Structure 1
Amino acid sequence: MQLLKGQKADVTKGRSLGKLAVRFGWKAGKSELGIDAAAFLLSERGRCERDEDFIFYGNPLAANGAAEHKSSGQQLGTEAGDQEVIELVLGRLPEQIAKAAFTVTIYDGEQLGHAFQDVTGLYVRLVNLDTGEELLRYEYGADLVKETAVVAGELYRHNGEWKFSAIGSGFNGGLAALCLNYGLELEGNAAAGEDGESQAYARAEAAAAATMEAPVQTASLSKIDFRKKLVQYTLEKKQLTNVVARVGIVLDISGSMQTLYKNGTVQEVVERILAVACKFDDNGTLDVWVYDNEYSRLPSVTERDFGQYVDKHILNNDRIHKFGRNNEPPVMEDVIRKYTVEENDPTPVFIIFINDGGVVKSIKHTITHSAVQPIFWQFVGIGNSNFEVLKRLDTMEGRIVDNASFFHLDDIAAVSDEDLYDQLLNEFPMWIKAAKEQRIIRP
């Protein structure tokens, strides 16, 4: 059954229906668009009475198993266009849930200049999970322009049965506007879009986390989840979704870096790079080194223990030599030793090397020497120092493959996550291809 805007249709009347899949499809006109589907489980008042009744990728499973969110990384269905799905076990929906609103939003649409005018092929279809039968389909969105959120449709109780209403109404203000519409109150100026996305997701994640045995950093985890999605979009764009890599970060801790450590910039860098490790590394860990004229190999960091990592493991660690002059080759040799001697494994290694200038020239020998190893060095220069040595990395001779890249950011804190990930992963695909051809890594 093909519905038009405003039409209603029976879903359960006249049929035995235990499990229902609400499948969402769309085509993004820009590869960087972040699009998410979600469900708000509502009371008769049309309100989401509990934060945990907001079902999305960060809170994918209702406490009683009545609703589950699945994304494109999981088995969704038989139709190629399906992007995300909300699966419902109708018999488990509590009596106080009178309606389920199904929504699609663009992440940070207003801030990033993205809107539904950049999206085509929007549809929602209802499928009987027990039989695979498509019950109805609603195609919508042709009238959307600047909106960043849309209510695709609603499933609602009527005389003891469930019906579906085709809505397709757009909202400005993204996810925050939807949350306010359904009674999830946000703090401060979130209604005006100030961090509304983060607050909305963090509320639901906090509710989900409350059911776990151990406490978690809910607000920070929300940021990590956002960043992991941006990394995923970048990986898809650069055709790296099937690549597994060990990920490490090397942090300059020479004297000129003191301000960046103390004002939280380095902690933020660790968190941003952790998202890359979570998507690339099969165990989701980020290996960490710091160096000035000495170096230290630090405990690896994961999304469960990254909070205050820099304070705990670096600034408050008296065993670490800090704020001296810089000397890169010793720490680079330790990186090579870890991945080729201690953990001799052909799995690719992606090293992000943060430096604020003045690297020693002998770094060239170390990079050339390591070209036969499964290690790619991505140097990131920050600040306004001299990066002449690093700028010549791409033209260095005497290597079997180009195993290093460099880009410069005046102020890394001012660069969006999206732009940072795009630059970080710009040359890595080319190295992967070349390293496979030379059998440095497995084809």
Structure 2
Amino acid sequence: MQLLKGQKVDITKGNNISDITFSFGWTTTNAQMGIDAAAFLLSERGICERDEDFIFYGNPVSQDGAVTHAAAAQGDKESLTVFLSRLPQQIARIALTLTIYEGEQLNHRMKDVSGPYVRLQNRQGGEELYRFDYGSDLTEETAIVVGELYRHNGEWKFSAVGSGFNGGLAALCVHYGLEVEGTGSAEVAAAAEAAVPAEPQQAAATDLPAVPPVEAEPAKNVLSSIDLRKRIVQFTLEKKQLTGVRARVGIVLDISGSMRNLYAAGVVQEVVERILAVAAKFDDNGSLDVWVYDNEFSRLPSVTERDFGQYVKTQILNNRSIHKFGRNNEPPVMEDVIRKYTKEDQEDTPVFIIFINDGGVLKLTRKVIMKAAVQPIFWQFVGIGYSDFEVLEGLDNMSGRIVDNADFVHLDRIEQVSDEELYDKLLNEFPHWLKAAKEKGIIRA
């Protein structure tokens, strides 16, 4: 059934529906334009009572698991799934939104977006219940309240809103009672300043309660990017039954010549922060050990939540003692990793190494991995870019090891991979190695 702007429909009344998925789609002529779907979980007062009630790609799961965000399939772009039975009673409405990333700064507007829609589906059966095409009346706006899922007389209904906002995600956050940090993370700030709605949001009918004013509400701080990422890591650990596991975490960063642009663009700094969130959950000290290498290598000071902000710039790019942008040579840095954890800082705690490389790995790397199979170290190789990864792709076919101590994932554009997907891939093989290493006595059970 096609919905019209302002129309309201029953979701649960008379229907056997307990979980509903909202699948969003759109088309843009500008490949550089970023568009994101999000959900604000609102109380009777029409605001997010907690920062955690803002669900988006940087915070993809609500604390109770009732609302989840994910990349969509089958032609859709993103999806938000609501498990109605899990929603706490204090959640009265869920506002579903679409925003243009940094639309105000980049001058990207809704007039540059064509065919935005949302499909309402019964998650269990997959059948489409309703479809709402919206936005044809919008031009300069940078955000839309697409619709609202709300309680009415003990049932759930949906209102097709389609109202535009100026000010992007920041305006929506303020509108729903959240404060955007002026220098906060890109995940939660699509504009640097709060703006007012392009048009006042009105209840679509008498059975949808009006939103009371929220100007007097005390401001709340949006979670920092590292806090959000730690929550995603925790969710991943629970999914993979890794809660309570202690491990030392290290990252090895390729700094050969082909990586120069990724360092300059801030991609490597972002990678360090994303991996730091893993270390914060695994390591008692919450620190991430760091190496960089080209044809030489350097062991750097560990990074923590207190000092990660400019780590790549201060500790790597501005450090003249580090050899940079030469050719790649993996075995020496790998030997130093082994030396640190098995001789210098020998402990019973297992080691999880994330090895970032953009291709052209030396074949001798496989010999080091083979030799290191008896050590309490798991090597998670991450290939980025479009180069040759033949050596790393053959890791799973290496025979003769006491345990399979390495894995490889290829991510063409790691900066475009969501945190949820990244952590899922990074932690996919680690639990299998832990089990095998314990059975072989490599690490203590």
TM-score bracket relative to the smaller structure: 0.5 to 0.7
Q: TM-score, normalised by structure 1?
A: 0.61
Task: Report the Cα offset of residue 400 of structure 1.
Answer: 0.6
Task: Report the Cα offset of residue 340 of structure 1.
Answer: 1.4
- Do the aligned residues in 1 keep the contact of 2:93 with 2:148 (CA within 8 Å)? no
Task: Report the Cα offset of residue 55 of structure 1.
Answer: 3.2
Give the alignment of 1:116-265 within 5 angstroms: 116=81, 118-124=82-88, 179-182=173-176, 197-198=188-189, 222-265=224-267
| CA distance 1:196–1:350, change in 2 (3 Å) | closer
- Do the aligned residues in 1 keep the contact of 2:361 with 2:391 (CA within 8 Å)? yes
Number of equivalences: 327
SS in 2 for 1:405: strand
Task: Report the Cα offset of residue 275 of structure 1.
Answer: 1.5
Q: Does 1:341 align with 2:336?
A: no
Distance of 2:88 and 2:315 partners within structure 1: 48
Task: Report the Cα offset of residue 113 of structure 1.
Answer: 2.6
Stretch deviating more after TM superposition (228-237 or 173-182): 173-182
Task: Report the Cα offset of residue 261 of structure 1.
Answer: 0.9
Please list every run of 5 or more consecutive structure 1 residues that lacks an aligned counterpart in the other structure: 6-25, 60-70, 73-82, 85-103, 127-136, 154-164, 189-194, 210-217
Match of residue 132 from structure 1: none
| CA distance 1:288–1:150, change in 2 (3 Å) | farther
Match of residue 324 from structure 1: 326
Match of residue 376 from structure 1: 378
Distance of 2:220 and 2:171 partners within structure 1: 21
Distance of 2:121 and 2:428 partners within structure 1: 36
SS in 1 for 2:366: helix
Match of residue 351 from structure 1: 353
Deviations 1:148-191 (A, max 9, x none): 876779xxxxxxxxxxx989676889997874544557799xxx
| CA distance 1:396–1:326, change in 2 (3 Å) | same
Task: Report the Cα offset of residue 383 of structure 1.
Answer: 1.5
Match of residue 428 from structure 2: 426
Task: Report the Cα offset of residue 438 of structure 1.
Answer: 0.8
Q: What percent identity do the matched residue pairs reach?
A: 57
- Do the aligned residues in 2 keep the contact of 1:436 with 1:442 (CA within 8 Å)? yes
- Do the aligned residues in 2 keep the contact of 1:27 with 1:119 (CA within 8 Å)? yes
Q: TM-score, normalised by structure 2?
A: 0.61
Residue 327 of structure 1 aligns with an amino acid whose one-letter code is N
- Do the aligned residues in 2 keep the contact of 1:357 with 1:382 (CA within 8 Å)? yes
- Do the aligned residues in 2 keep the contact of 1:123 with 1:139 (CA within 8 Å)? no
Please list every run of 5 or more consecutive structure 2 residues that lacks an aligned counterpart in the other structure: 1-9, 11-17, 23-36, 55-61, 96-119, 123-128, 131-145, 163-167, 195-217
SS in 2 for 1:357: coil
| CA distance 1:429–1:29, change in 2 (3 Å) | farther
Deviations 1:242-282 (A, max 9, x none): 22211110001111111111111111111111121122222
Distance of 2:86 and 2:301 partners within structure 1: 45
Residue 290 of structure 1 aligns with an amino acid whose one-letter code is V
- Do the aligned residues in 2 keep the contact of 1:124 with 1:139 (CA within 8 Å)? no
Distance of 1:292 and 1:35 partners within structure 2: 40
- Do the aligned residues in 2 keep the contact of 1:115 with 1:148 (CA within 8 Å)? no
Match of residue 278 from structure 2: 276
Distance of 1:150 and 1:283 partners within structure 2: 42
Match of residue 115 from structure 1: 80
- Do the aligned residues in 2 keep the contact of 1:249 with 1:288 (CA within 8 Å)? yes
Distance of 1:36 and 1:282 partners within structure 2: 33
Give the helix-richer structure, 1 or 2: 1
Distance of 1:255 and 1:140 partners within structure 2: 48
